[in-house]
A = this chain, B = another copy of it.
Amino acid sequence: MFKFEIVKKSQKSMARIGIVHTRHGIINTPSFIFCATKANVKGLTIDHVKNAGTQIILSNAYHLMLQPGSDLIKRAGGLHQFLSWSGPIFTDSGGFQIFSLGHGSVSSEIKGTRFGDRRRTLLNLTESGAQFRSYIDGKIVNLTPELSMQIQMDLNADIIVSMDECTPYHVSKLYTANSMEKSKRWASRSLEEIRMHGRQDSQTLLVVIQGGIYRDLRQESARFANENDFSGFAIGGSLGKTRSEMHEVIGMTTEMLDRSRYVHLLGIGGIEDILEGVNYGIDTFDCVAPTRIARHGAAIVKVKELPNKGQKFINLNNSAFYDDFDPISESCQCYTCSNFSRAYIHHLLRARESLAGSLISIHNIFTMNRLMTDIRNAILEDRLDEVRNDWC
């Protein structure tokens, strides 16, 4: 059922256009995957998610196994039926959240900046799996690769991810090496579990590439991935401390991978990082940012449409928008820009009406989808630099 078709390769970089075929339709790549963490895109009815041009959404096994439980969603007919989405769905393994909550905050650890302040919920880490405490009711849960697969089979997503240890930045190379080796063994167990249930054709398993910032460790992780029958790859783990280090790690990793297979970059989705990633051959991205920043009043636009050149987004909380009757973006055809002004959204933000976040989310989703369309069109004509000038 799953097929990854490469439509066109760039002459100038590793960038490529492709089509991912799933049971629930296609994804034109490079593509952005929007987060429906707890089986909903926060504050949005699913018709608005779809009408904003979305092809694929991502739900988190970690959140859903704790509430409402994957068994409940299985009984509901799977995630597609539960949240009423007929297109492709991506789920992760749950490992990422366990380790990021266990070690510190998610982004600070991936980006290597510092340990977060969150209470440690990771209790024990063994060859068998990871023991953690539920943030819902304090119950102790043992997540193994087999259980992660069972959960993802219950959810019945189209693209699923092997369980791995998401290695933090602030550990030794030896720790990273041992962790990467463990992730390989967990990936093999993940694949075996999926095969044992005959799901390898209906649910596409991506193997997570680990190895931190170390070339030789990434190389070994990639060798293992290439030599085994995974349908695609998901680049995970620590990507370094700085943005340039991150781009370097991504670049060296994609070069090591079998180029005929599909590559996802886990949890990264800033516009600059997307453009860099596309150049290195990344096919799909996911990130909570477009909808999270929307709820705080930030709208994504092209560079030339930014009122303040120093900023990355339009901050609609700013009192300058009190009487700005233009849409967020003159060139945008989304539901929000077709119907509402910056002044209206500013008013809703001031009045603490949740509709503000919903309207900006619609705009941001539409805009990210538009960016990805721009990128795909630019790859066809080998002019990705123009897209960068427009958007960064």
Contact = CB atoms under 8 A, between A and B. Distances in A.
Interface of A: 38-40, 42-48, 63, 67-68, 72, 75-77, 82-84, 322-323, 325, 335, 339-341, 343-344, 346-348, 350-351, 353-355, 358-359, 362
B40 A343 contact: no
A355 B76 contact: no
A164 B355 CA distance: 32
B39 A347 contact: yes
Specify how many copies of this chain sit in the oligomer.
Answer: 2
Contact of A72 (B47, B76, B322): B322
Given A39-B344, A76-B341, A343-B76, A350 B44 contact: no
A322 B38 contact: no
Given A39-B347, A67-B350, A353-B40, A45 B84 contact: no
Nearest to A344: B82
Given A45-B45, A68-B322, A353-B42, A84 B339 contact: yes
B347 A67 contact: yes
B45 A355 contact: yes
B76 A359 contact: no
A40 B355 contact: yes
A197 B67 CA distance: 59
B353 A354 contact: no
Nearest to A355: B40
A71 to B, nearest CB: 9
Contact of A323 (B38, B75, B347, B359): B75
Contacts of A358: 43, 45
Contacts of A44: 355
